[in-house]
């Protein structure tokens, strides 16, 4: 009897050992990753991240590292929810693809046929821009991101109305220029033709059939989810700082989804398998092929001396494409306050990688993605941590040197007016209202989402810095934006000229009144 019991126990132990070996974490290709990823956490001073790898139709690796809540020391898991930012874009384009499959639209018809409320800057744009152009960022419009980031609104319709005041800096289909507003407008088309919100469409037509049960589209839903990540950024001294969630609201179709690596793995499996999930066609096959084919040239991206096997850069419908060491890669990153993400897959290799982190504007998703890619595709080892860190350090040094040289020649003359004279409400129809006021001996500007400190630079020009409600002003982190106050013929302040974004030419916020506004 004892021998039988011992044999049975040995059999059980063998089964348990075999089961452990068959788990995704035990795949031999991923040996040593725990040590490597601890180095990532330390090198980049990141609170945490999660990763999942899929091959064909299953997850072959999934794990969390570091903390989803640094203060409470709560660990990241594969079910931890993160904001995925612009990785949301392929969900929006897929809904457009499904509407075309339903015969409700044609992506090559002028978009105003389906959304008359969408007006552009001129008739040529109104008569020519299609959903095809909008999905591939080739409308002639630059980003205008400060419009939604500083002057957010919960109304998608209100956000779309700003488009008609955005002057193009290129001709239609002349060049590729990333534009979040064109994805907001796609969301408006989806709502108009379906009679349901963009969020409900995402849930009903994508989340539910893909069993993405831990994914949602708003911050209130995120907060209720449990196992959620706190977002962080780095201060000027490289220490970690907690960030508030950004309620993207009116720009939701461009980047509002919150998800987990377990859920996003299902999304990648669907793309790898020609739009099918568990045998069901969720993404129309024809649209899937178009979406991951080159629709616009991002730039030449010639092979570099240090990376001769990474080249070309194009854009499809909500996806970037490039060649990574001879393998066709489809990828999109995501960034929103406190979070960064990367979703990528290799169609010919049937491999997909999702990386989510709770660090703002982080290099970590790209580094982790490339480390895993080299391992799973059995490519030559490359020390991506050191490579990217060295490049970042050099870029930081060059930036600091440029700033120092600029400061040496910069002129610093006092403002021509008393600070109270600059106070008032300033408006531009493509953006919103900037409320400028004085407090003590300083000048501040309030947008919908941010409080800004205006530091005198030269005469009527002021430099812009964030003012954190708790920590105050970090002068080591400037937006690199100047506000130039304008005067009328009487010498009275009547506007602000600024260039909020490099590709958008300077424009003027007009003063609504000339009454002095002082903070109480």
391-441 pLDDT per residue, tens: 999 998 998 888 788 878 888 999 999 999 999 999 999 999 999 999 999
67 and 129, same domain (yes or no): yes
Residues 205 and 259 in one domain: yes
Q: Give domain status of residue 370, yes or no.
A: yes
pLDDT tens-digit readout, 350-391: 999 999 999 999 999 999 999 999 999 999 999 999 999 999
Task: Say yes or no: 244 and 282 in one domain.
Answer: yes
Whether residue 413 lies inside any domain: the answer is no
Whether residue 360 is contained in a domain is answered as yes
CATH code (residue 280): 3.40.710.10
464, β-bridge pairs:
454
Residues 126 and 176 in one domain: yes
For residue 150, the 8-state DSSP code is: H
518 inside domain: no
Q: Are residues 41 and 2 in the same domain?
A: no
DSSP state of 56: T
Q: Is 281 left (phi over 0), alpha (psi -120 to 50) or beta?
A: beta
pLDDT at position 344, please? 98
**Is 52 exposed, middle or buried, given 0-12, 13-18 or 19+ CB atoms closer than 10 A?**
buried
* Residue 202 near residue 217 (C-beta atoms within 8 A): yes
Q: Are residues 246 and 312 in the same domain?
A: yes
- Tell me which residue range forms the domain holding 231: 32-395
Domain match, 466 and 323 both: no
How many other C-beta atoms are found inside a 10 Å radius of the C-beta of residue 409?
6
What letters, b where the CB count within 10 A reaches 16 and e where it falls short, cover 83-98? bbbbbbbbbbbbbbbb
What one-character DSSP code corresponds to residue 413? Answer: P
b/e code 341-361 from CB counts within 10 Å (16+ = b): bbbbbbbebebbbbbbbbbbe
Q: How many domains does the chain have?
A: 3
Final residue before a domain boundary, out of 363, 395, 427: 395
Tokens of 67: 């903390």
Residues of the chain with pLDDT under 50: 1-25, 515-520
Model pLDDT, residue 301: 82
Contacts of 431 (CB under 8 A, 6+ apart): 146, 147, 150, 151, 162, 500, 509
Gap between the Cα atoms of 459 and 90, Å rounded: 47
* Residue (of 517, 520, 519) closest to 426 by Cα position: 517
Structure tokens at 98: 């499904």
Instruction: Assess if residue 520 is contained within a domain.
Output: no
Specify if 461 maps to a domain: yes
User: Residues 367, 386: one domain?
Assistant: yes
CATH number at residue 455: 2.40.128
Q: Read out DSSP for 201-220?
A: HHIIIIITTTT-TT-BSSHH
pLDDT for residue 194: 98
Dihedral of the CA atoms 385, 391, 397, 400 (nearest 10)? -100
What pLDDT shows up at residue 304?
81
pTM score: 0.92
Torsion of CA 371, 374, 375, 376, to 10 degrees: 110
Whole-number pLDDT of residue 276: 98
Please check whether residues 337 and 220 belong to one and the same domain.
yes
- Domain assignment present for residue 38? The answer is yes
Task: Mention every residue, 6+ apart, whose C-beta is less than 8 A from residue 386.
Answer: none
The answer on 284 and 140 residing in a single domain is yes
**Residues 105 and 217 occupy one common structural domain:** yes
Report which secondary-structure segment, H or E, holds 13: helix 2-22
- What six digits make up the tokens of 15? 């089964």
Same domain, 305 and 333: yes
At residue 474, the pLDDT reads 82
402 falls within a domain:
no
Residue burial 268-281, b: 16+ Cβ < 10 Å; e: rest? bbbbbbebbbeeee
């Amino acid at each position: 009897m004892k021998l039988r019991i011992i044999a049975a126990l040995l059999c059980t132990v063998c089964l348990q050992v075999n089961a452990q070996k068959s788990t995704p974490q035990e795949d031999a290709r991923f040996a040593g990753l725990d040590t490597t990823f601890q180095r990532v956490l330390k090198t980049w001073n990141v609170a945490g991240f999660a990763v999942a790898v899929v091959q064909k139709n299953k997850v072959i690796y999934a794990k969390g590292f570091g903390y989803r809540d640094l203060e409470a020391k709560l660990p990241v898991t594969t079910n931890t929810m993160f904001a995925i930012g612009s990785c949301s874009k392929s969900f929006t384009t897929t809904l457009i693809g499904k509407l075309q499959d339903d015969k409700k639209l044609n992506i090559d018809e002028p978009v105003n046929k389906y959304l008359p409320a969408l007006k552009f800057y001129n008739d040529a744009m109104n008569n020519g821009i299609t959903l095809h152009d909008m999905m591939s960022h080739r409308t002639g419009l630059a980003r205008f991101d400060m419009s939604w980031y500083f002057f957010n609104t919960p109304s998608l319709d209100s956000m779309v109305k700003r488009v008609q005041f955005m002057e193009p800096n290129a001709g239609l289909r002349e060049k590729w220029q990333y534009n979040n507003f064109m994805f907001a407008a796609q969301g408006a088309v989806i709502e108009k033709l379906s009679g349901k919100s963009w969020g409900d469409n995402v849930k009903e037509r994508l989340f539910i059939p893909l069993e993405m049960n831990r994914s949602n589209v708003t911050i209130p839903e995120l907060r209720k989810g449990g196992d959620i990540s706190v977002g962080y950024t780095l201060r000027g001294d490289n220490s970690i700082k907690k960030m508030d969630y950004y309620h993207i609201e009116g720009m939701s179709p461009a980047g509002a989804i919150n998800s987990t690596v377990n859920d996003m793995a299902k999304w990648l499996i669907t793309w790898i398998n020609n739009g099918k999930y568990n045998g069901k066609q969720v993404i129309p096959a024809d649209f899937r092929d178009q979406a991951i084919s080159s629709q616009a040239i991002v730039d030449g991206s010639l092979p570099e001396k240090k990376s001769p096997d990474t080249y070309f850069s194009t854009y499809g419908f909500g996806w970037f494409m490039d060649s990574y060491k001879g393998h066709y890669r489809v990828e999109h990153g995501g960034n929103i306050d406190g979070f960064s993400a990367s979703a990528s897959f290799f169609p010919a290799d049937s491999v997909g990688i999702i990386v989510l982190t709770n660090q703002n504007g982080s290099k970590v998703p790209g580094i982790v993605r490339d480390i895993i890619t080299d391992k799973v595709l059995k490519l030559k080892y490359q020390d991506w941590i050191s490579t990217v860190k060295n490049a970042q350090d050099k870029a930081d040094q060059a930036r600091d040197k440029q700033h120092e040289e600029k400061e040496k020649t910069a002129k610093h003359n006092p403002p021509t007016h008393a600070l109270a004279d600059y106070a008032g409400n300033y408006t531009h129809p493509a953006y919103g209202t900037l409320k400028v006021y004085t407090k003590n001996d300083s000048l501040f500007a309030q947008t919908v989402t941010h409080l800004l400190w205006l530091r005198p630079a030269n005469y009527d020009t002021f430099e812009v810095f964030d003012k954190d409600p708790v920590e105050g002003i970090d002068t080591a982190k400037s937006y690199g934006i100047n506000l130039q106050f304008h005067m009328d013929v009487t010498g009275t302040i009547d506007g602000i000229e600024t260039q909020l974004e490099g590709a958008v030419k300077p424009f003027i916020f007009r003063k609504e009144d000339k009454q002095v506004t002082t903070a109480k």
